[in-house]
A and B are shown apart, each in its own frame.
Chain A
């Protein structure tokens, strides 16, 4: 066995406090997501809602991406682990994102049902 995958010594490991902080941040970001959703679905948008409504999709995507990155980097140890693992995850992830965007675009532009 090799040193890179058994960081039992814990020298490069984030502290337990950091893990807990991340859990809290994840929770807060989730709350923000739901909050944005609740604000955006109000009947007559005014004030904050008027700003949130047109931006709801980007807001949700950014919050979700933030949560995703936190889990991947810290809980899945990609930040301190080998770059090979990051590559194995990030490349398919980008491809997946491109395919989702491409399919949505292809269907919304061309197959628009009148």
Chain B
């Protein structure tokens, strides 16, 4: 609703602290912290679900969980980790870092940014509210038709899933438009595209994937919603529909989605490695283009998730070929990371540990992934623990390791104090060993034929000790993340003694040129950029470390007003969608009314 601002007498008074200031904030840094805190809590919930799964599987024929409870737990584990943990952890970094790295005061549309967060958190809470009704989604994170049909899932479980994902999709799309436009348009003078930090590049490519992939899942979910609510037959063979259509639409979204999960971690690692190797990223242009190529190919490989549906030899060959092609740009990236380390003067700080762990584990996950590209091999591996092993190596060994490394790297910038190095390294070793204990045996269990998504197994198949080892490993991962929280607590308690300077790591990018944590306006003056690694250039010119930047009075700097309309609009949107499940048309209409009311007040609100 784009229109000129009308003068309002009652512009909301900008308050800087308290709950109200967080509910109305449009500051990208605060929204980033909100994203991070929410995502970390969801990550812990998803981790708890995983522990329950592992506890059930630690011995054969266990009765710890019922089959129904197990279905709910693995579905919610997958859905939570993908949509409520890894994606919003990336969103935290997009929010916090993109404006700082490109030299901007905020994102392009600060209120839209707040809207994205509120929609995300409402969607996440809604999805998890299903546990209160003992009706958590139970058809897998992929929700294959016709498991999800009213006939086979008569309860509310799948309704929570469909509507929850639909709400989350709105958040992702709104955020993607915002960050894409921010990166294109709000770069500081001189920050040409080919000078952007690699994290910004990977973020931009991720936004493109979000923009192009999420509409497809939106449509697929609409069909599922109408099948369940109104009785259409999009995925119901008895009515002429085809369950395979769901798989196609889901994976046209789903494969780009896995790159949405992994490209930001690629960016994180590409920031950490050069700083702790004391040399620029090796093969910058090749890194950019391989990232773009991965994303582009990512739209042409979806059917490799569907070899077992019987696509026929031609489709199998095409999708097998495109899938194998992706190994090339991915390999380019790995060689470039190694090339960055090669000959560098390595500073063995905690973030580098996690970045190195990322490379090692991601390579293993990549290798097992490329095996699935071959249809005959895939037919043996599909639906077994081999696949579970593969994607946990890329998502846990890859994405989570990079995220934790990123947390250690940017924590001082975000909160103004350092995390303990020693604890961080102990956590790394526990995490690294436990991760391999948990997921490496799954390769063997899978090749022995242990199926995924099955709540138990019989004794004597050679799976018993493998599963026991996996469960022990998963407990180790719980210890590692407990240690992480202890680290945060201890470091916070000692923050006065251990304040973070502006540039604790001798960083190369603009976020290290301003105080930690940054002031609300980020940059007192918008910087001018003359090349890649602008801060290294500045230090070289200066002949040594730069003087510590001072906190300045920014009262003359124009910042957007806080606003509660994004929250109101987000609530309206959520009510509108929840109406499909509870209350029907009146609730839909109440949601629409709140949505429009919020959106109009938003559009006509003075922006300060």
Contacts and interface: CB of A to CB of B under 8 A. Distances in A.
Interface of A: 84, 92, 95, 99, 103, 106-107, 109-111
B203 to A, nearest CB: 17
B315 A95 contact: no
Given A103-B248, A107-B244, A110-B312, 15 more contacts: A84-B184, A92-B211, A92-B212, A99-B216, A99-B252, A99-B299, A106-B248, A106-B311, A106-B315, A107-B245, A109-B314, A110-B310, A110-B311, A110-B315, A111-B242
Question: Chain B CB within 10 Å — which of A92, A106, A107 has the most?
Answer: A106
Given A92-B212, A95-B212, A99-B252, A109 B312 contact: yes
Nearest to B315: A106
Nearest to B310: A110
A95 B242 contact: no
B223 to A, nearest CB: 13
Contacts of B314: 109
B95 to A, nearest CB: 23
Contacts of A111: 242, 244
A6 to B, nearest CB: 14
B238 to A, nearest CB: 14
Interface string B292-313: 0000000100010000001110
Tier of interface size on chain B? 10 to 19
Contacts of A107: 242, 244-245
Contacts of A95: 212, 299
A56 to B, nearest CB: 25
Contacts of B252: 99
Name B's interface SS: helix
Contacts of B311: 106, 110
B302 to A, nearest CB: 9
Contacts of A84: 184
Interface in B302-336: 303, 310-312, 314-315
Contacts of A110: 310-312, 315
A18 B252 CA distance: 41
Contacts of A106: 248, 303, 311, 315
Interface of B: 184, 211-212, 216, 242, 244-245, 248, 252, 299, 303, 310-312, 314-315
B315 A109 contact: yes
A40 B299 CA distance: 37
Contacts of A109: 312, 314-315
A27 to B, nearest CB: 30
Nearest to A92: B212
**Shortest Cβ-Cβ A-B pairs, 7 listed:** A110-B312, A110-B311, A92-B212, A106-B315, A103-B248, A95-B212, A95-B299
A110 B212 CA distance: 26
A68 B299 CA distance: 24
A111 B306 CA distance: 14
25 contacts: A84-B184, A92-B211, A92-B212, A95-B212, A95-B299, A99-B216, A99-B252, A99-B299, A103-B248, A106-B248, A106-B303, A106-B311, A106-B315, A107-B242, A107-B244, A107-B245, A109-B312, A109-B314, A109-B315, A110-B310, A110-B311, A110-B312, A110-B315, A111-B242, A111-B244
Question: Chain B CB within 10 Å — which of A84, A109, A110 has the most?
Answer: A110
A107 B299 CA distance: 18
B576 to A, nearest CB: 26
Question: Chain B CB within 10 Å — which of A92, A99, A103 has the most?
Answer: A99
B297 to A, nearest CB: 12
Contacts of B184: 84
A103 B211 CA distance: 20
A95 B248 CA distance: 15
A99 B252 CA distance: 9
Nearest to B180: A88
A99 B315 CA distance: 14
Contacts of B242: 107, 111
Contacts of B216: 99
A92 B177 CA distance: 14
A106 B302 CA distance: 12
B176 to A, nearest CB: 12
A95 B216 CA distance: 12
A110 B242 CA distance: 12
Nearest to A103: B248
B186 to A, nearest CB: 14
Nearest to B211: A92
A82 B211 CA distance: 20
Nearest to B240: A113
A22 B310 CA distance: 48
A74 to B, nearest CB: 22
A17 to B, nearest CB: 29
A105 to B, nearest CB: 8
Contacts of B244: 107, 111
Nearest to B249: A103
A106 B299 CA distance: 15
A110 B314 CA distance: 10
Nearest to B316: A110
B305 to A, nearest CB: 13
A55 B473 CA distance: 64
Contacts of A99: 216, 252, 299
Nearest to A96: B212
A87 to B, nearest CB: 11
B3 to A, nearest CB: 16
Nearest to B309: A110
A94 to B, nearest CB: 11
A95 B303 CA distance: 16
A106 B216 CA distance: 17
Nearest to A84: B184
A92 to B, nearest CB: 6
A84 B312 CA distance: 40
Contacts of B315: 106, 109-110
A111 B245 CA distance: 10
A99 B253 CA distance: 11
A29 B586 CA distance: 43
Contacts of A103: 248
A103 B314 CA distance: 14
Contacts of B312: 109-110
A109 B244 CA distance: 14
A49 B212 CA distance: 40
A109 B303 CA distance: 14
B303 to A, nearest CB: 7
